[in-house]
A = this chain, B = another copy of it.
Amino acid sequence: MASSQEEVTLLGAIGSPYVCRVKIAFKFKGVEYKYVEENLANKSEQLLKYNPVHKKVPVIVHNDKPLAESLVIVEYIDETWTHNPILPSDPYQRAMARFWSKFIDDKIVGAAWKAVFTADEKEREKNVGEALEALQFLENEIKDKKFFAGEEIGLVDIAGVFIAFWVPMIQEISGLEILTSEKFPNLYKWSQEFVNHPVVKESLPPRDPVFAFFKGLFENVTASK
Nearest CB of B to A211, in Å? 30
Q: Could you say which residues of chain B place their CB within 8 Å of the CB of A75? A: 94-95, 98
Q: Could you say which residues of chain B place their CB within 8 Å of the CB of A62? A: 92
Checking B67, B79, B137 against A53 with a beta-carbon cut-off of 8 angstroms, the contacting residue is B137
Checking B76, B80, B94, B99 against A69 with a beta-carbon cut-off of 8 angstroms, the contacting residue is B99
* Cβ contact within 8 Å between B79 and A91: yes
Whether A103 is near chain B, meaning CB under 8 Å from some CB there, is yes
Contact (A99, B67) CB under 8 Å given A76-B91, A92-B76? yes
Whether A169 is near chain B, meaning CB under 8 Å from some CB there, is no
Docked Cα-Cα span, A94 to B75, in Å, equals 9
Whether A109 is near chain B, meaning CB under 8 Å from some CB there, is no
Chain multiplicity (copies):
2
Whether A68 is near chain B, meaning CB under 8 Å from some CB there, is yes
* Cβ contact within 8 Å between A67 and B95: yes
Q: Which of A103-121 contact B (CB under 8 A)?
A: 103
Checking B72, B80, B94, B99 against A99 with a beta-carbon cut-off of 8 angstroms, the contacting residue is B72
* Cβ contact within 8 Å between B53 and A72: no
Q: Which of A67-100 contact B (CB under 8 A)?
A: 67-69, 72-73, 75-76, 79-80, 91-92, 94-96, 98-99
Contact (A79, B94) CB under 8 Å given A53-B137, A137-B53? yes
Number of interface residues of A (CB under 8 A): 23
Whether A102 is near chain B, meaning CB under 8 Å from some CB there, is yes
Whether A34 is near chain B, meaning CB under 8 Å from some CB there, is no
Whether A65 is near chain B, meaning CB under 8 Å from some CB there, is yes
Q: Could you say which residues of chain B place their CB within 8 Å of the CB of A52? A: 137
Nearest CB of B to A8, in Å? 13
Residue of B nearest to A78 (CB): B91
* Cβ contact within 8 Å between B92 and A67: yes
Docked Cα-Cα span, A80 to B99, in Å, equals 16
Docked Cα-Cα span, A114 to B73, in Å, equals 29
Checking B67, B79, B94, B98 against A96 with a beta-carbon cut-off of 8 angstroms, the contacting residue is B67
